[in-house]
Amino acid sequence: MSAPDVIVGMSGGVDSSVAALLLRDAGVAVAGLFMQNWASDDSSDCRVEDDRRDAVAVSGRLGIPIHFRDFSSEYLEGVFKHFLAEYAAGRTPNPDVLCNREIKFKHFLDAARDLGAESIATGHYARVERRNGSWRLLRAVDTSKDQSYFLHQLGQSQLAATRFPLGGMLKSEVRRIAADAGLPTAAKKDSTGICFIGERDFRQFLSRYLPAQPGEIRDPTGRLLGEHGGVCYFTLGQREGLQLGGIRGREQAPWYVVGKDVARNILYVDQGIDSPWLQSTTLSSEDAHWIAGSAPSSRFSCTAQTRYRQQAEACDVMVRDDGTLDVRFSRSQRAVTPGQSLVLYDAEACLGGAVILSTDAPLESMQRGQAA
């Protein structure tokens, strides 16, 4: 059997199924590869075997070979341990970003090359373009499904060896193509939840690795309101799970997490989805990654997202000598969260991004002042 030109990451979902179909119909010598990246556990939500069967069924329907690789140890070391360390530190990590960099576009790419393929393909909604000798990562045509945010850590060598067959399509088209081709994944629900771990009761899952440490819930003035099960289980802007009932002297309105003091194990909350305690205008980041290999300039203007499915916001960026960023937004932003990813764009082109380190949100600024 001759080596394939392209190996598709077959997840058992409709998107990777159609990506493989489109490449096959374009005359590309294609094979599939199913990755297992999370060691099976006793959770009923673990869908690895179902996904594996669907990936095999789709490959059989398409008449393409399929390979299997177990990257669970690489996922544990390269993604999951970092994920736990960030939560333990009171930050909110984005494992999908790290999973793409460390697993899908590193170990999977290496495995594909070992099998003789020149490139890989996935069902991500994004586009790759070569312009003036450089590879660019572009937003997908279907802006509601665009996944360039999660791919901002890719570099030139990875983009040069990657195809995104769905980047120019609408999700509705993908479903239609799958149905017309009789693919068994045509109506399968899209996967959600933590990358490769899936949908679970998140707090229950996290408590397996980070035991609950109950502490106080206070408002920004310091008034004691209740008790939480552990600050690491909450993120800024979160409403669910606070279990705060009627509080004397306060109106009947939802409460939101507005700050965390990890050292003192205090969770701060306020009422109102747009509480001023959730607002910030500036942020600092860790060392930035640039898709082109370097920053556009030491100072420049662009747009940015601080979370997935957020409207891109205008900002000014200063690149420090150590590679970290200082960013100022044109208007205040809600619930910008340390540990999450800042992703920068020039129109539809993703420039790169960095992990958010700190912001000028009121409680965070006060805590820094007290620590100084």
CATH number of the domain to which 47 belongs: 3.40.50.620
pLDDT at residue 45, rounded to an integer: 47
pLDDT at residue 202, rounded to an integer: 75
pLDDT at residue 200, rounded to an integer: 60
Of the candidates 123, 128, 80, the one whose C-alpha atom is nearest the C-alpha of residue 103 is: 80
Indicate the pairing of strand 349-359 with strand 341-346. Answer: antiparallel
Residue 201: inside a domain, yes or no? no
Q: Which CATH number covers residue 219?
A: 2.30.30.280
pLDDT at residue 44, rounded to an integer: 42
pLDDT at residue 42, rounded to an integer: 54
Of the candidates 265, 141, 152, the one whose C-alpha atom is nearest the C-alpha of residue 214 is: 265
pLDDT at residue 246, rounded to an integer: 72
Contact 116, 4 (CB under 8 A): yes
Contact 237, 278 (CB under 8 A): yes
Buried b (16+ CB within 10 A) or exposed e, 283-308: bbbbebbbbeeebbeeeeebbbbbbe
Q: Using CA atoms, how far apart are residues 268 and 221, in angstroms rounded to an integer?
A: 9
Does residue 263 share a domain with residue 128?
Answer: no
Tell me the whole-structure pTM to 2 decimals.
0.93
Contact 84, 210 (CB under 8 A): yes
Q: Using CA atoms, how far apart are residues 93 and 91, in angstroms rounded to an integer?
A: 6
Residue 169: inside a domain, yes or no? yes
Q: 94: burial class by Cβ within 10 Å (0-12, 13-18, 19+)?
A: buried
Does residue 296 share a domain with residue 259?
Answer: no
Task: Show the domain range for 35.
Answer: 6-180
Q: Per DSSP, which regions of the chain are E strands?
A: 6-9, 30-36, 66-70, 119-121, 126-131, 134-139, 162-163, 215-218, 224-228, 255-261, 266-271, 279-285, 289-290, 299-305, 313-319, 325-334, 341-346, 349-359
Contact 260, 232 (CB under 8 A): no
Q: How many CB atoms lie within 10 A of CB 330?
A: 12
Where helices occur in the chain by DSSP H, the ranges are 14-25, 48-62, 72-75, 81-88, 95-99, 108-114, 156-160, 171-180, 202-207, 362-371
Does residue 243 share a domain with residue 131?
Answer: no
Q: Which CATH number covers residue 346?
A: 2.40.30.10
pLDDT at residue 366, rounded to an integer: 82
Does residue 219 share a domain with residue 121?
Answer: no
Residue 37: inside a domain, yes or no? yes
Please indicate whether residue 232 is annotated as part of the active site.
no
Residue 296: inside a domain, yes or no? yes
Residue 22: inside a domain, yes or no? yes
Give the residue carrying structure tokens 């990657």: 162
- The model's pLDDT over 174-210, given as tens digits with 9 standing for 90+, comes to 999 999 999 999 999 887 655 555 556 777 888 889 8
Q: Which of 273, 294, 319 is the last residue of a domain?
A: 273
Q: Which of 46, 99, 302, 350 is catalytic?
A: 99
Does residue 352 share a domain with residue 337?
Answer: yes
Regions in the chain scoring below 70 on pLDDT: 1, 40-46, 192-200, 249, 369, 371-372
Does residue 29 share a domain with residue 164?
Answer: yes
Looking from the CA of 91 toward its CB, the CA atoms found within 13 Å total: 18
Does residue 269 share a domain with residue 132?
Answer: no
Question: Which phi and psi (to 5°) does residue 307 adopt?
Answer: -160, 160
Residue 164: inside a domain, yes or no? yes
Does residue 147 share a domain with residue 17?
Answer: yes
Q: Which of 180, 204, 221 is the last residue of a domain?
A: 180
Q: Using CA atoms, how far apart are residues 192 and 188, in angstroms rounded to an integer?
A: 12
Q: Using CA atoms, how far apart are residues 149 and 147, in angstroms rounded to an integer?
A: 5
Q: Would residue 357 be called left, alpha or beta, if left means φ above 0 and alpha means ψ between -120 and 50 degrees?
A: alpha
pLDDT at residue 130, rounded to an integer: 96
Does residue 142 share a domain with residue 10?
Answer: yes
Q: Using CA atoms, how far apart are residues 318 and 328, in angstroms rounded to an integer?
A: 9
Residue 119: inside a domain, yes or no? yes
Residue 121: inside a domain, yes or no? yes
Q: Is 91 helix (H, G, I), strand (E, B) or coil?
A: coil
- The model's pLDDT over 71-97, given as tens digits with 9 standing for 90+, comes to 999 999 999 999 999 999 999 999 899
pLDDT at residue 278, rounded to an integer: 97
Question: Which phi and psi (to 5°) does residue 142 adopt?
Answer: -80, 95
Does residue 133 share a domain with residue 262?
Answer: no
User: What's the domain count of the chain?
Assistant: 3
Does residue 241 share a domain with residue 285?
Answer: no
Question: Which phi and psi (to 5°) does residue 319 adopt?
Answer: -95, 120
Q: Which of 195, 302, 315, 350 is catalytic?
A: 195
Does residue 21 share a domain with residue 155?
Answer: yes
